[in-house]
Amino acid sequence: MDKDKLPVGQRFSQVYLEKGKPLKDSKRFRHRLGAYFEQNIGDSRDKLAAIIEKELGVTVPTIGLEYYDFSVFFKKRELRDVLDAITLIYQYFKEIRRYRLDENYKNWLDFVQRTFKEESLGYRVDDGGGVHFFIDEEFERSRAATISCLSEARYSAVSTAFEKCYYHLDSDPPNTKDAVRSISEALEILYKLIIDATGTARLNSSGVRSNLKPIVKKMYSTDKTASKAGEHLLDGFCDWIDASHMYRHGQKVKEPIEPPIGLAINMISSGSAYLRWLVEMDAFKHPGKN
Protein backbone atom coordinates (compact mmCIF):
# COMPACT_ATOMS: atom_id res chain seq x y z
CA MET A 1 0.00 0.00 0.00
CA ASP A 2 1.26 3.49 -0.89
CA LYS A 3 2.28 5.08 2.43
CA ASP A 4 0.95 8.43 1.20
CA LYS A 5 -2.53 6.95 0.99
CA LEU A 6 -2.57 5.48 4.49
CA PRO A 7 -5.07 7.08 6.90
CA VAL A 8 -3.20 9.61 9.02
CA GLY A 9 -3.86 10.12 12.72
CA GLN A 10 -6.81 7.72 12.95
CA ARG A 11 -7.21 4.97 15.54
CA PHE A 12 -6.49 1.46 14.33
CA SER A 13 -9.92 0.16 15.37
CA GLN A 14 -11.69 2.81 13.30
CA VAL A 15 -9.71 2.02 10.15
CA TYR A 16 -9.21 -1.72 10.10
CA LEU A 17 -11.68 -3.52 12.35
CA GLU A 18 -14.81 -4.91 10.72
CA LYS A 19 -17.87 -2.99 11.92
CA GLY A 20 -20.53 -5.59 11.14
CA LYS A 21 -24.23 -4.99 11.75
CA PRO A 22 -25.19 -2.02 13.96
CA LEU A 23 -25.40 -2.95 17.64
CA LYS A 24 -28.26 -2.21 20.02
CA ASP A 25 -26.04 -1.68 23.06
CA SER A 26 -22.34 -1.57 23.93
CA LYS A 27 -20.29 -1.54 27.14
CA ARG A 28 -17.69 0.65 25.45
CA PHE A 29 -20.38 3.15 24.43
CA ARG A 30 -21.73 3.37 27.96
CA HIS A 31 -18.26 3.72 29.47
CA ARG A 32 -17.37 6.51 27.04
CA LEU A 33 -20.52 8.48 27.87
CA GLY A 34 -19.73 8.26 31.56
CA ALA A 35 -16.11 9.31 31.03
CA TYR A 36 -17.13 12.30 28.89
CA PHE A 37 -19.66 13.40 31.48
CA GLU A 38 -17.14 13.24 34.34
CA GLN A 39 -14.44 15.07 32.37
CA ASN A 40 -16.54 17.82 30.80
CA ILE A 41 -19.90 18.45 32.47
CA GLY A 42 -19.66 16.81 35.90
CA ASP A 43 -20.08 20.10 37.77
CA SER A 44 -23.75 20.12 36.75
CA ARG A 45 -24.40 16.63 38.12
CA ASP A 46 -26.77 17.74 40.91
CA LYS A 47 -29.18 19.56 38.61
CA LEU A 48 -29.01 16.88 35.93
CA ALA A 49 -29.64 14.13 38.47
CA ALA A 50 -32.77 15.97 39.63
CA ILE A 51 -33.97 16.37 36.03
CA ILE A 52 -33.41 12.69 35.25
CA GLU A 53 -35.26 11.59 38.38
CA LYS A 54 -38.20 13.89 37.59
CA GLU A 55 -38.46 13.08 33.87
CA LEU A 56 -37.45 9.41 33.79
CA GLY A 57 -38.47 8.16 37.22
CA VAL A 58 -35.05 6.65 37.93
CA THR A 59 -32.29 7.75 40.28
CA VAL A 60 -28.64 8.42 39.56
CA PRO A 61 -26.47 6.27 41.87
CA THR A 62 -24.59 8.13 44.59
CA ILE A 63 -21.29 7.85 46.39
CA GLY A 64 -22.03 8.75 49.96
CA LEU A 65 -25.04 11.00 50.40
CA GLU A 66 -24.51 13.79 47.90
CA TYR A 67 -22.16 12.78 45.04
CA TYR A 68 -24.09 11.61 41.98
CA ASP A 69 -22.05 9.05 40.03
CA PHE A 70 -23.02 9.38 36.37
CA SER A 71 -20.36 6.91 35.25
CA VAL A 72 -22.27 4.19 37.12
CA PHE A 73 -25.58 5.54 35.79
CA PHE A 74 -24.45 5.15 32.19
CA LYS A 75 -22.95 1.70 32.81
CA LYS A 76 -25.78 0.16 34.82
CA ARG A 77 -29.13 1.74 33.97
CA GLU A 78 -31.52 0.37 31.33
CA LEU A 79 -30.74 1.32 27.75
CA ARG A 80 -33.93 3.39 27.47
CA ASP A 81 -32.76 5.55 30.40
CA VAL A 82 -29.29 6.02 28.92
CA LEU A 83 -30.70 7.12 25.55
CA ASP A 84 -33.28 9.40 27.19
CA ALA A 85 -30.58 10.95 29.37
CA ILE A 86 -28.66 11.92 26.23
CA THR A 87 -31.62 14.09 25.22
CA LEU A 88 -32.20 15.58 28.68
CA ILE A 89 -28.55 16.54 29.09
CA TYR A 90 -28.53 18.23 25.69
CA GLN A 91 -31.75 20.15 26.42
CA TYR A 92 -30.44 21.31 29.80
CA PHE A 93 -27.24 22.76 28.40
CA LYS A 94 -28.93 24.28 25.38
CA GLU A 95 -31.35 26.08 27.66
CA ILE A 96 -28.85 27.56 30.08
CA ARG A 97 -25.94 28.42 27.73
CA ARG A 98 -24.04 30.04 30.58
CA TYR A 99 -20.37 31.04 31.00
CA ARG A 100 -18.06 28.20 29.95
CA LEU A 101 -20.97 25.83 29.34
CA ASP A 102 -22.42 27.80 26.45
CA GLU A 103 -21.02 25.32 23.92
CA ASN A 104 -21.53 22.18 26.00
CA TYR A 105 -24.81 21.30 24.34
CA LYS A 106 -23.12 21.23 20.93
CA ASN A 107 -20.04 19.42 22.19
CA TRP A 108 -22.17 16.79 23.94
CA LEU A 109 -24.21 16.15 20.80
CA ASP A 110 -21.11 15.91 18.63
CA PHE A 111 -19.53 13.45 21.04
CA VAL A 112 -22.63 11.25 21.25
CA GLN A 113 -22.98 11.14 17.46
CA ARG A 114 -19.30 10.28 17.03
CA THR A 115 -19.54 7.57 19.67
CA PHE A 116 -22.60 6.04 18.02
CA LYS A 117 -20.63 5.81 14.79
CA GLU A 118 -17.32 4.63 16.21
CA GLU A 119 -18.90 1.93 18.37
CA SER A 120 -21.15 0.83 15.48
CA LEU A 121 -24.41 1.43 17.32
CA GLY A 122 -27.67 1.52 15.40
CA TYR A 123 -28.72 5.00 16.49
CA ARG A 124 -28.45 8.59 15.35
CA VAL A 125 -29.08 11.82 17.21
CA ASP A 126 -31.07 14.67 15.68
CA ASP A 127 -30.45 18.42 15.98
CA GLY A 128 -32.70 18.61 19.04
CA GLY A 129 -30.83 15.89 20.91
CA GLY A 130 -33.41 13.16 20.23
CA VAL A 131 -32.12 9.64 19.60
CA HIS A 132 -33.46 7.61 16.67
CA PHE A 133 -32.78 4.26 15.10
CA PHE A 134 -30.11 4.37 12.39
CA ILE A 135 -30.19 2.07 9.36
CA ASP A 136 -27.05 3.08 7.47
CA GLU A 137 -25.43 6.20 6.04
CA GLU A 138 -26.86 5.74 2.55
CA PHE A 139 -30.38 5.43 3.97
CA GLU A 140 -29.89 8.66 5.92
CA ARG A 141 -28.49 10.48 2.88
CA SER A 142 -31.53 9.42 0.87
CA ARG A 143 -33.83 10.68 3.62
CA ALA A 144 -32.05 14.05 3.81
CA ALA A 145 -32.07 14.46 0.03
CA THR A 146 -35.80 13.75 -0.15
CA ILE A 147 -36.65 16.14 2.69
CA SER A 148 -34.70 18.84 0.84
CA CYS A 149 -36.73 18.22 -2.33
CA LEU A 150 -39.98 18.54 -0.39
CA SER A 151 -39.15 21.82 1.34
CA GLU A 152 -41.52 23.96 -0.77
CA ALA A 153 -44.97 24.80 0.63
CA ARG A 154 -46.59 22.97 -2.29
CA TYR A 155 -45.26 19.71 -0.89
CA SER A 156 -46.20 20.18 2.78
CA ALA A 157 -48.69 17.28 2.77
CA VAL A 158 -46.21 15.09 0.90
CA SER A 159 -43.49 15.93 3.40
CA THR A 160 -45.77 15.14 6.35
CA ALA A 161 -46.59 11.68 4.98
CA PHE A 162 -42.92 11.08 4.21
CA GLU A 163 -41.85 11.96 7.76
CA LYS A 164 -44.53 9.62 9.15
CA CYS A 165 -42.77 6.82 7.31
CA TYR A 166 -39.64 7.35 9.41
CA TYR A 167 -41.68 7.81 12.58
CA HIS A 168 -43.16 4.34 12.11
CA LEU A 169 -39.77 2.88 11.22
CA ASP A 170 -38.32 4.51 14.34
CA SER A 171 -40.65 2.68 16.74
CA ASP A 172 -39.48 -0.32 18.74
CA PRO A 173 -40.05 -2.74 17.16
CA PRO A 174 -40.23 -0.96 13.79
CA ASN A 175 -43.77 -0.69 12.40
CA THR A 176 -42.76 -1.65 8.88
CA LYS A 177 -46.28 -1.97 7.51
CA ASP A 178 -47.31 1.58 8.40
CA ALA A 179 -43.90 2.82 7.23
CA VAL A 180 -44.55 1.36 3.77
CA ARG A 181 -48.09 2.73 3.82
CA SER A 182 -46.80 6.22 4.64
CA ILE A 183 -44.24 6.31 1.81
CA SER A 184 -47.02 5.12 -0.51
CA GLU A 185 -49.28 7.92 0.74
CA ALA A 186 -46.55 10.50 0.11
CA LEU A 187 -46.17 9.27 -3.46
CA GLU A 188 -49.92 9.26 -4.02
CA ILE A 189 -50.29 12.86 -2.84
CA LEU A 190 -47.47 13.98 -5.13
CA TYR A 191 -48.88 11.98 -8.02
CA LYS A 192 -52.22 13.77 -7.61
CA LEU A 193 -50.47 17.16 -7.60
CA ILE A 194 -48.75 16.32 -10.87
CA ILE A 195 -51.90 15.22 -12.71
CA ASP A 196 -54.15 17.87 -11.07
CA ALA A 197 -56.30 15.05 -9.76
CA THR A 198 -59.65 15.58 -8.09
CA GLY A 199 -62.09 13.13 -6.58
CA THR A 200 -61.08 9.52 -6.07
CA ALA A 201 -57.94 9.27 -8.23
CA ARG A 202 -55.53 6.73 -6.78
CA LEU A 203 -51.92 5.83 -7.29
CA ASN A 204 -51.89 2.65 -9.37
CA SER A 205 -49.75 1.24 -12.15
CA SER A 206 -52.30 1.77 -14.93
CA GLY A 207 -52.82 5.42 -13.97
CA VAL A 208 -49.08 6.04 -13.76
CA ARG A 209 -48.52 4.59 -17.22
CA SER A 210 -51.27 6.69 -18.79
CA ASN A 211 -50.58 9.93 -16.93
CA LEU A 212 -46.84 10.04 -16.29
CA LYS A 213 -45.40 8.35 -19.36
CA PRO A 214 -46.29 11.34 -21.62
CA ILE A 215 -44.55 13.66 -19.13
CA VAL A 216 -41.43 11.51 -19.12
CA LYS A 217 -41.34 11.51 -22.93
CA LYS A 218 -41.58 15.30 -23.03
CA MET A 219 -38.99 15.76 -20.28
CA TYR A 220 -36.43 13.80 -22.29
CA SER A 221 -37.69 14.58 -25.79
CA THR A 222 -34.27 15.75 -26.98
CA ASP A 223 -32.49 12.64 -25.69
CA LYS A 224 -33.80 9.35 -27.09
CA THR A 225 -31.66 7.24 -24.78
CA ALA A 226 -32.84 9.09 -21.68
CA SER A 227 -36.42 8.87 -22.89
CA LYS A 228 -36.23 5.11 -23.29
CA ALA A 229 -34.44 4.69 -19.96
CA GLY A 230 -37.10 6.86 -18.32
CA GLU A 231 -39.85 4.61 -19.65
CA HIS A 232 -38.12 1.55 -18.19
CA LEU A 233 -37.70 3.36 -14.88
CA LEU A 234 -41.39 4.22 -14.92
CA ASP A 235 -42.17 0.53 -15.44
CA GLY A 236 -40.08 -0.15 -12.34
CA PHE A 237 -42.13 2.42 -10.44
CA CYS A 238 -45.29 0.59 -11.48
CA ASP A 239 -43.84 -2.64 -10.11
CA TRP A 240 -43.02 -0.79 -6.87
CA ILE A 241 -46.63 0.40 -6.63
CA ASP A 242 -47.95 -3.14 -7.14
CA ALA A 243 -45.58 -4.41 -4.43
CA SER A 244 -46.65 -1.68 -1.98
CA HIS A 245 -50.34 -2.53 -2.49
CA MET A 246 -49.67 -5.94 -0.93
CA TYR A 247 -49.10 -4.13 2.38
CA ARG A 248 -51.09 -0.97 1.83
CA HIS A 249 -54.52 -2.57 1.53
CA GLY A 250 -56.33 -4.94 3.85
CA GLN A 251 -55.12 -8.53 4.01
CA LYS A 252 -57.40 -11.53 4.43
CA VAL A 253 -55.83 -12.61 7.69
CA LYS A 254 -56.64 -11.98 11.36
CA GLU A 255 -53.20 -10.60 12.19
CA PRO A 256 -51.65 -7.92 9.92
CA ILE A 257 -48.62 -9.11 7.98
CA GLU A 258 -45.61 -6.84 8.46
CA PRO A 259 -43.01 -6.61 5.68
CA PRO A 260 -39.60 -7.88 6.83
CA ILE A 261 -37.33 -5.03 7.90
CA GLY A 262 -34.92 -5.56 5.00
CA LEU A 263 -37.74 -5.47 2.46
CA ALA A 264 -39.30 -2.41 4.11
CA ILE A 265 -35.99 -0.53 4.00
CA ASN A 266 -35.58 -1.42 0.33
CA MET A 267 -39.10 -0.22 -0.47
CA ILE A 268 -38.63 3.03 1.47
CA SER A 269 -35.27 3.73 -0.18
CA SER A 270 -36.72 3.09 -3.63
CA GLY A 271 -39.86 5.06 -2.80
CA SER A 272 -37.73 8.02 -1.70
CA ALA A 273 -35.89 7.99 -5.02
CA TYR A 274 -39.21 7.91 -6.89
CA LEU A 275 -40.44 10.84 -4.79
CA ARG A 276 -37.45 12.92 -5.88
CA TRP A 277 -38.05 11.96 -9.51
CA LEU A 278 -41.73 12.87 -9.28
CA VAL A 279 -40.76 16.30 -7.92
CA GLU A 280 -38.81 16.79 -11.16
CA MET A 281 -41.89 15.78 -13.15
CA ASP A 282 -44.05 18.20 -11.17
CA ALA A 283 -41.63 21.07 -11.79
CA PHE A 284 -41.64 20.22 -15.51
CA LYS A 285 -45.43 19.93 -15.69
CA HIS A 286 -46.17 22.95 -13.47
CA PRO A 287 -43.29 25.43 -13.82
CA GLY A 288 -43.45 28.28 -11.34
CA LYS A 289 -45.69 26.48 -8.82
CA ASN A 290 -42.85 25.35 -6.58
Residues 142-161 pLDDT 10s: 888 999 999 999 999 999 99
In a domain, 57, yes or no: yes
| Confidence grade of residue 21 (pLDDT, cut at 50, 70, 90) | low
Count of CB atoms within 10 A of residue 228's CB? 13
Backbone phi, psi, residue 221, to 5°: -65, -25
Question: Considering the domain boundaries, does residue 236 fall inside one?
Answer: yes
Query: What average pLDDT does this structure show over 5-26?
Result: 63
| pLDDT at residue 114, rounded to an integer | 93
* pLDDT of 90 above 50: yes
pLDDT of residue 88: 94
Q: Residue 290: inside a domain, yes or no?
A: no
Whether 60 has a pLDDT exceeding 90, the answer reads yes
What b/e sequence results for 130-152 when a residue is b if at least 16 CB atoms lie within 10 Å of its CB, and e otherwise? ebbbbbeeebeebbeebeebbee
105-143 confidence digits (pLDDT tens): 788 999 999 999 888 888 889 888 999 888 777 888 888
The pLDDT of residue 17 is: 55
Please state the domain count of the chain.
2
pLDDT for the residue 127:
86
| One domain for residues 171 and 146 | yes
Domain that holds residue 246: 137-285
φ/ψ of residue 103, rounded to 5: -110, 5
Q: Does a structural domain hold residue 118?
A: yes
5-9, 106-110, 112-116, 251-255: the lowest-pLDDT one: 251-255
User: How sure is the predictor about 101, in pLDDT bands with cuts at 50, 70 and 90?
Assistant: very low
Q: Is residue 31 part of a domain?
A: yes
Give the domain-ending residue among 74, 102, 133.
Answer: 133
Query: Whats the size of the chain, residue-wise?
Result: 290
Please write the tens of the pLDDT for every residue from 168-190: 988 878 899 999 999 999 999 99
Domain boundary among 87, 114, 133: 133
**pLDDT (average), residues 67-94:** 93
Torsion of CA 67, 73, 74, 77, to 10 degrees: 180
- 172 and 127 part of one domain: no
pLDDT band at 96 (very low <50, low <70, confident <90, very high): confident
Same domain, residue pair 79 and 141: no
- Domain-embedded: residue 183: yes
pLDDT score for 279? 96
Using pLDDT thresholds of 50, 70 and 90, give the confidence band for residue 1: very low
Higher per-residue confidence, 196 vs 223:
223
Q: What is the pLDDT of residue 256?
A: 62
Whether residue 269 sits in one domain with residue 192: yes
Q: Is residue 146 part of a domain?
A: yes
